[in-house]
Amino acid sequence: MAAMLADAVVVVHLLFVAFVVAGGFLLLRWPRLAWLHLPAAAWGAFIEFSGGICPLTPLENHLRVIGGGSAYDGDFIERTLLPILYPGHLTLPLQQVLGGVVVGVNLVAYALAYRAWRRKARVRQAQSVRRSSS
């Protein structure tokens, strides 16, 4: 059971990383998601810039040990997803570059979302002016 929970933590971790990196683009469709995405992106960038470790990593390792396994035995999840989350050559300078990627991608996403929000606001304002003048 603990090994299955560890696998679930890896999947959640990977989804969180994907949300941190690219979740800003979801704001084009769901603007209120910014309340969830901004803290997640800030956390992800902080972890990368500081060289820290996300709390999900020790949780996953703990669950693997409790389950009687080692941290990375070789099942599908461990062979496929773990190298994405925990590459062997990850150094602080590389983490800082990844933090820059997180910030850069999200600046682009938020700029696009802001443009879309402004465009929608202008359209609503123009419709409102047309209605009030008719």
Quote the pLDDT of residue 54.
Answer: 84
List of the chain residues with pLDDT < 50 = 74-76
d(C-alpha 75, C-alpha 24), whole Å: 32
Ordered DSSP codes for 78-91: HHHTHHHHS-TT--
Q: 């443009």: which residue's tokens? A: 115
Quote the pLDDT of residue 67.
Answer: 83
pTM above 0.85, yes or no: no
Quote the pLDDT of residue 52.
Answer: 83
- How many CB atoms are closer than 10 A to CB 13? 21
Q: Provide the token pair at 62.
A: 């703990």
Quote the pLDDT of residue 34.
Answer: 94
- How many CB atoms are closer than 10 A to CB 66? 13
Quote the pLDDT of residue 77.
Answer: 53
